[in-house]
Structure 1
Amino acid sequence: MQANIPFMRIICYTCLCLLYCFFIPASLCGQKMTVLEGQIVAMEDGGPIPGAIISVHNGGIHSMSNQEGRFILKIPAMNTNDSIYVRMLGYQPQCFTPAILYQQGNRILLQQQPLQLKGISISAINPLSLIQKAIQRIPENYYGRPHVMKGFYRLSARKAWDYIHISEAAFDLYCPDLSGRHRLFRLTRARMEKDLSPFHGVSNIVFGVKPENVFEYDVTANINESDVLSKQGLKDHRFSLNGLVVYNGRQAYELIFDQREGLRKSRYQGKIYLDKETLAILSLQYWLSPSGIHYWEVKSLSQRALMKLLDMYETVLQDTVQIHYRQYGEKYFLSHVSNRSLIRLHSGRVHFDFNCPVDMQYITTQIDTVAVKPFADKELLGHNRYIEHQGEENSGMFWKDLNLMPADYDVDSVAAAIHSRNDISQYRRMLENIIRKQSKQPVSRIDTILSFYHRKGLFDGAALIQHKGQTIYQHAFGWADRSRQSANKLNTKFRIGSITKQFTAMLILQLQQEGRLQLEDSVGKYLPDYIHKNITIAQLLTHQSGIPNCTLNTDYLSQLLLHPFSNSELVTRFCSDSLEFTSGQHFRYSNAGYMVLSEIIERVTGKKYADVLTEKIFGPLNMLYSHAGVVDAEDTLMATGYEGSVPETKYPLLNMAGAGAIISNATDLLIWEQALHSDKLLPLREINQMFQPHAHYKDWNADYGYGWMIDKGMFKVSDKHVIQYHPGTDMGCYSMILRQPDEGIVIILLSNSGDFPRFDMADLILQQLNSK
């Protein structure tokens, strides 16, 4: 029996953006449109302004700018000469015509507007009484007669930077009155792609939206169910009046709230904006209160029981909702909603554990108030059914004729990538059938495996395999540089991403051997100005420091990709956030921890991290093709990484010093692996510390040593043999180094064509080499 785990409302609907096109008569549908595209930026610094509302004065047509400030507005021919208005909280509204926009190079400049009104006394107003009056006036302020809204949404979920779910749907809502209880949902089209690989094939995890969830965000239609504005919500929170502000050109009361002290449940912090004249709710913004977040739990008792039964859990780490209303004519309507969530998904039984950002955009493109009637029963979708599971349309024309906020990513490419990853699991079964029909000669089967994935367009790069201490297979596939038509070779150099961590760990162990540091030393001994002085070097090595992974922070990552920083700057700017847990108590993979180790190495030696690598590892081992840092554009041995068909983004490699940044090739990595069986770099008893289990990595069902993972079940042969490995990822370059010491097996796979099925490939190769 399949059991679906539906996430709570907020989890499923992250980044909900509702953009309404009000009162577009049905007669306008299908007529010729003028497409207006542009960017909204701040006059003061030229920075993009996301979330601005762009509307046609007489046509009631609306759109919203995305994170880059860009927007698309489709205007019917009859409204081409109408004025266009742009509004954004904190900026002066703008009015212009399409012709003026073209003259300005499709850029709209907004000037900042002071939010706080000074010199107005409001101390005598009771904030709770103000909110209660606003609730009483909802029937006066909001449109409550029958109407039909046409809507569109896009939902996405990620593991790190890989999208693992994307779905889109277009639909109609019948709204007979102000109450959300009687609304009807009619689906017109939908599509969905989901990737099961992060959950190791388990299909019980469901990202999805139900009609009832679409209805819930209009709090003025669902006051009794609101977490903040219901009677219970008003009791659970304390409110205060912060002052009068200008909200989109109108004077508004700004109220702030937090959950009450001593409340033993998870509630919210936030703000409410009320129109000063009418007390209409202009905006409700809230997020989980820090004082109660540790009480958060899934609301449904049956769902909690099901999760316990399946040993699959969700924990909300962050959740922010912003609901905005705007006036059209004399009434207010829901304008747009944003909801951002970060959820930890984990299972001990299936062995996954990762933080998952879930985002959604929801756009209402039209409201019809003329001669509307309820939908026929056969057209309805039940309130408790997942919308995206009802249909599938993967055509590139999916967005045609919709007024919407442009996506911040290529939706069709993301959907294609997920679809491709799903094909990979099918390929493995096909390949296993092919291998069974071949001779049992391992080398022939290994060539079949690697050639198969290359022909499927999933692997370009270099492969080197050793068995019983002898190299039995070495081959290169595809192009190192497609523009130059230069082929990959065995000495082609690749960026090896997180495989770098084992080299950083080796440097730390060497410095300990020299008596220059100890693993139990605190970071503060070497970085006295560092905020987290009490973390130990050992905790950094084993990802038990609690320092958040800086490469999962969008703002940080954009800076790391654009600007070079010194090691000390990297530690201060990107590795100094509040700890996610008390150091030493948990495991959480963090590139930031190894970046701190790189700074410690520089402080102890007085030399650059890259120079210490060459002095202590690359030089002594004669690894001639290995170094850290700058890529020489004229280096004909350097592979260009590709993300799909596009060359990867270039960035300052040493911004990832310690966690990444090393360039190497297959032959050098084999030299490195062989050195781990000798005392060339360290006595063997010291080297063996790297392969001892120091922490458990649930996500990959592995133990973690120092820069190496010790498998507990990802590879089939692990029930009888010790498998030590580490993958690497660096933009378009992906890699895998794996060793099985008892049989002298080494597998090195380096790719420059993006992600590839490295676990499946390594697993299949291991099975051939261990078959009797």
Structure 2
Amino acid sequence: MKLSNPTIKKTQIIRNALFICATFLFFGINQSLAFQEQPGVDFDEYRGEVVDAESNKALVFATLTVEGTNISTITNTEGNFLLKIPKNINSSNVIVSFLGYKTTSVPISSLEKEGNKISLMVSVTQLSEININAPKDAKALVRATMAKRDDNYFNDPSLMTAFYRETIKKRRKNVSLAEAVVNIYKTPYTSTKDDAVELYKARKSTDYTKLDTVALKLQGGPYNTLYVDIMKYPEYIFSSEAIDDYKFTFDRSTRINDKLIYVIRFNQLEHILEPLYQGELYIDVENNTLTNATFTLNIIDREKAAKLFVRRKPARVDVWPTEVSYRVDYREKNEKWYYGYSSVFMEFKVDWQGKLFNSTYSMNAEMAITDWELNATGDLPRYRERIKRSIILSDEATGFSDPSFWGEYNIIEPEQSIESAIRKIQRQLRRTERNSD
């Protein structure tokens, strides 16, 4: 049966959106790793945690920004942070913010090198605020927000420095970790040109003994997270054709940086059979600005979802996704918003024929903007200098080194479990080297 043009277009949008998150399964892995070093640089490091002031619960993905600069980082899944600040700006403050909490300012001079604890208070939204100029139609608010993209987001080209991390786990154990510092040539939100990514540094560590001779590799690298910027790439989720396939409803309200934020829930209509998305949009109602979004893929049909993600696998293995989720956070400067952080999480079942139990693998990719400046010329790197959208970062990276490898660049502080996995793999490599001598 020949599909109508709108259906073809919609299907292409879905496949384009999911292609960047495609996974590979391979036999036979090259286990050679190299080590590199980076000269020391003139900066101060501060470690600590961000917590809820009352419950002492860790605040995950809280943002820390050096006041008056574009230097930022975020807390990891345990609420810990590592912030590197050039010595010549140590008279400034660190602005700490988190969704639904009051933003706080911490003088850099009051920070210790280790053990800092920053507590944030919940921002209570008064009921009377919710009824003031409240929009009545959730879909209309989403449409108005998409329509005001050119007014509310950066309309100048920017050169961003970002930290990117890919983690692969088998069940709960870390088996592979790849990290990179990349340069992002961010085109204006008013432009139809895609952003370009340039690889600056990369490193990896993989425990091949836990992969059962099967290795999952994430195709697309930093592009997976970059394309979650739905205000820059609305065609991947809320194109003019696809937006009518969703139902939008008001959920609740909260605050971000003392701004009243409405939370809009969305889900695909019941009669839509193709796998689309469901999630929450956080919208500043006064300015019609999307500040955050979290959403997941509706895995309605296991076989359809598997075809969208799995590009190559052994013949005797069935692989299908059980969860695919996304997150994007935006930051504000001079009343303009820009992409600040995003993540993609995927979980897969791997079922070998003839085996009693299947395996569960999860893949997490996240990227945080740690510094940026205006790209005055608007020039993009030459095509041969850009990384390809089909990149597999773990193939490009060379290996783990000592902490000076990353020099002055801000990174997301590793979770303790990841640090333990790295140390274990390094010890195993050293033993292998000694045995081969």
| Cross-structure match for 1:389 | 395
**Structure 1 residue 37 corresponds to structure 2 residue 47:** yes
Find 1:408's aligned residue among 404, 415, 423.
Answer: 415
- Secondary structure of 1:298's partner? helix
Count how many residue pairs are aligned between Structure 1 and Structure 2. 399
Q: Distance in 2 between matches of 1:67 and 1:215?
A: 20
1:199, 1:352 within 8 Å by CA — same for their partners in 2?
no
Matches within 5 A, 1:3-152: 9-10=20-21, 32-102=42-112, 106-115=116-125, 117-118=127-128, 120-121=130-131, 125-152=136-163
| Cross-structure match for 2:28 | none
- Secondary structure of 2:244's partner? helix
Shift of 1:289: 4.2
124 and 410 in structure 1: CA distance in 2 versus 1, 3 angstrom threshold: closer
Q: Distance in 1 between matches of 2:353 and 2:45?
A: 51
- Secondary structure of 1:92's partner? coil
Q: Which has the higher helix share?
A: 1
Find 1:186's aligned residue among 161, 183, 198.
Answer: 198
Q: Distance in 2 between matches of 1:89 and 1:202?
A: 39
| Cross-structure match for 1:729 | none
Shift of 1:244: 4.0
- Secondary structure of 1:258's partner? strand
**Structure 1 residue 245 corresponds to structure 2 residue 251:** no
Deviation string 1:371-413 (CA, Å, 9 cap, x unpaired) is 4532234422222222332241421133331212211136565
**Structure 1 residue 343 corresponds to structure 2 residue 336:** no
Q: Which amino acid aligns with 1:177?
A: P
| Cross-structure match for 1:225 | 236
Deviation string 1:686-744 (CA, Å, 9 cap, x unpaired) is xxxxxxxxxxxxxxxxxxxxxxxxxxxxxxxxxxxxxxxxxxxxxxxxxxxxxxxxxxx
192 and 293 in structure 1: CA distance in 2 versus 1, 3 angstrom threshold: same
Q: Distance in 1 between matches of 2:200 and 2:244?
A: 41
Shift of 1:165: 1.4
Matches within 5 A, 1:277-676: 277-289=286-298, 292=300, 297-300=305-308, 306-307=312-313, 310-348=315-353, 353-372=358-377, 373-396=379-402, 397-409=404-416, 411=418, 413-415=420-422, 417-418=424-425
2:71, 2:372 within 8 Å by CA — same for their partners in 1?
no
Q: Distance in 2 between matches of 1:166 and 1:158?
A: 9
- Secondary structure of 1:272's partner? strand
CA RMSD after TM alignment: 3.4
1:186, 1:379 within 8 Å by CA — same for their partners in 2?
yes
Shift of 1:256: 1.0
Q: Distance in 1 between matches of 2:356 and 2:424?
A: 24
Q: Distance in 2 between matches of 1:103 and 1:76?
A: 14
340 and 116 in structure 1: CA distance in 2 versus 1, 3 angstrom threshold: farther
1:244, 1:251 within 8 Å by CA — same for their partners in 2?
yes
What percentage of aligned pairs have identical amino acids?
20
1:115, 1:247 within 8 Å by CA — same for their partners in 2?
no
Find 1:255's aligned residue among 264, 272, 287.
Answer: 264
Q: Distance in 1 between matches of 2:273 and 2:383?
A: 44
- Secondary structure of 1:404's partner? coil
**Structure 1 residue 154 corresponds to structure 2 residue 160:** no
162 and 8 in structure 1: CA distance in 2 versus 1, 3 angstrom threshold: farther
Structure 1: gaps (5+ residues): 1-6, 13-29, 428-454, 457-772
Q: Which amino acid aligns with 1:374?
A: L
51 and 422 in structure 1: CA distance in 2 versus 1, 3 angstrom threshold: same
Q: Distance in 1 between matches of 2:204 and 2:308?
A: 26
Shift of 1:418: 4.2
Q: Distance in 1 between matches of 2:76 and 2:223?
A: 26
Find 1:216's aligned residue among 220, 227, 232.
Answer: 227
Shift of 1:58: 0.6
166 and 278 in structure 1: CA distance in 2 versus 1, 3 angstrom threshold: same
Task: Normalising by structure 1, report the TM-score.
Answer: 0.47
Q: Which has the higher strand share?
A: 2
1:92, 1:110 within 8 Å by CA — same for their partners in 2?
yes
344 and 171 in structure 1: CA distance in 2 versus 1, 3 angstrom threshold: same
Structure 2: gaps (5+ residues): 1-17, 24-39
Shift of 1:64: 1.3
- Secondary structure of 1:133's partner? helix
Q: Which amino acid aligns with 2:412?
A: M
Higher RCO by CA contacts (8 Å cutoff, separation 6 or greater): 2
Q: Distance in 2 between matches of 1:186 and 1:349?
A: 44
Return the index of the structure with the highest Cα Rg.
1
Deviation string 1:575-613 (CA, Å, 9 cap, x unpaired) is xxxxxxxxxxxxxxxxxxxxxxxxxxxxxxxxxxxxxxx
2:162, 2:370 within 8 Å by CA — same for their partners in 1?
yes
Q: Distance in 2 between matches of 1:330 and 1:353?
A: 50
Shift of 1:10: 4.7
Deviation string 1:401-454 (CA, Å, 9 cap, x unpaired) is 121221113656524534676899x89xxxxxxxxxxxxxxxxxxxxxxxxxxx
